Chains A and B, each alone.
Chain A
Amino acid sequence: MGYEKKILVCENSIEGIFSAVYDGWHWENKGISVKIAAEEPEYPELFADRVDITSDSEKAVKVARTVRRKLGEQVYEAVCYAAVSIHPDKGTAVFYLLRKALGGKRCDRHVLEALADPAVSLVSSLRIKVWHEIHRFYGFVRFRQMAGGILASVIRPENDILEFLGIHFSNRFPNENWMIYDEGREKILVHEKEGECCVYVQKVLNKNAGGFLEEPDEYEEMWRAFCSCIAIKERTDLKLQKQFVPLKFRSNMLEFYE
Chain B
Amino acid sequence: MIYKESMSLMEKLEILADAAKYDVACTSSGTDRKGDGSGIGNSITPGICHSFSGDGRCISLLKVLYTNECVFDCKYCANRASNDVVRTSFTPEEISRLTIEFYRRNYIEGLFLSSGVKDSPDATMEELIRSAEILRNQYHFQGYIHLKAIPGASPELICRAGYLADRMSVNLELPTAEGLKKLAPHKSRQTILRPMKQIQTVCEENKRELTVYRHAPEFVPAGQSTQMIIGAVGESDFQIVSTAEALYRKFSLKRVFYSAFVAVNEDKALPVLPQGPPLLREHRLYQADWLLRFYGFRAEELLSEEHPNFNLFLDPKCDWAISHLQYFPVEINKADYRTLLRVPGIGEKSARRIVGARRYHSLDFPELKKIGVVLKRAVYFITCNGRQMYPIKLEEDYIVRNIMESGRMPFSSSEVTYRQLSLFDDDKMIVDRNEVL
Q: A residues touching B (Cβ–Cβ < 8 Å)?
A: 110, 113-117, 121, 135, 138-145, 151, 153, 169, 171-176, 197, 218-223, 225-241, 243-245, 253, 255
Contact = CB atoms under 8 A, between A and B. Distances in A.
B7 interface: no
Considering the complex of A and B, which 10 residue pairs feature the smallest CB-CB distances, nearest first? A240-B56, A113-B356, A231-B53, A235-B55, A231-B54, A229-B17, A139-B50, A237-B56, A244-B52, A229-B18
Contacts of A151: 104-105
Given A140-B50, A171-B35, A230-B17, A218 B10 contact: yes
Contacts of B260: 235
Given A227-B51, A229-B13, A241-B53, 19 more contacts: A114-B357, A115-B370, A116-B370, A117-B360, A139-B60, A143-B105, A169-B106, A172-B35, A175-B39, A197-B37, A222-B98, A222-B102, A231-B54, A234-B276, A235-B57, A236-B55, A237-B54, A239-B56, A240-B56
A240 B55 CA distance: 7
Given A115-B357, A173-B40, A143 B14 contact: no
Contacts of B332: none
B118 interface: no
Interface string B121-163: 0000000000000000000000000000000000000000000
A234 B263 CA distance: 9
A119 to B, nearest CB: 13
Interface in B8-64: 9-10, 13-14, 17-18, 20-22, 34-35, 37, 39-42, 44, 46, 48-60, 62-63
A219 B21 contact: no
Contacts of A240: 52, 55-56
A223 B102 contact: yes
Contacts of A121: 370
B399 to A, nearest CB: 28
Contacts of A139: 48-51, 60, 106
Interface residues of B, number: 55
B359 A113 contact: yes
A68 B54 CA distance: 44
A173 B42 CA distance: 9
B102 A110 contact: no
A65 B363 CA distance: 33
A121 to B, nearest CB: 6
Interface of B: 9-10, 13-14, 17-18, 20-22, 34-35, 37, 39-42, 44, 46, 48-60, 62-63, 98, 101-102, 104-107, 260, 262, 276-277, 279, 353, 356-357, 359-361, 363, 367, 370-371
B62 A234 contact: no
Contact of B262 (A117, A145, A232, A239): A232
Contacts of B58: 244
A230 B106 CA distance: 18
Interface centre among A141, A231, A232, A240 (most CB of B within 10 A): A232
A117 B357 CA distance: 10
A144 B22 CA distance: 30
A235 B262 contact: yes
B54 A144 contact: no
Nearest to B352: A113
A245 B357 contact: no
A255 B108 CA distance: 13
B107 A116 contact: no
Contact of A222 (B13, B21, B50, B55): B13
Contacts of A144: 105
A228 B14 CA distance: 9
28 contacts: A110-B356, A110-B359, A113-B353, A113-B357, A113-B359, A115-B357, A116-B357, A116-B367, A140-B51, A142-B105, A143-B104, A145-B104, A174-B37, A175-B40, A220-B105, A222-B13, A222-B102, A223-B102, A229-B18, A229-B21, A230-B53, A230-B63, A231-B54, A231-B57, A232-B262, A235-B277, A241-B54, A245-B51
Contacts of B56: 235, 237-241, 243-244
Contacts of A237: 54-56
Interface centre among B34, B44, B49, B54 (most CB of A within 10 A): B54
A16 B42 CA distance: 32
B104 A173 contact: yes
Contacts of A243: 56
A196 to B, nearest CB: 11
Contacts of A115: 353, 356-357, 367, 370-371
Given A241-B55, A253-B51, A176 B360 contact: no
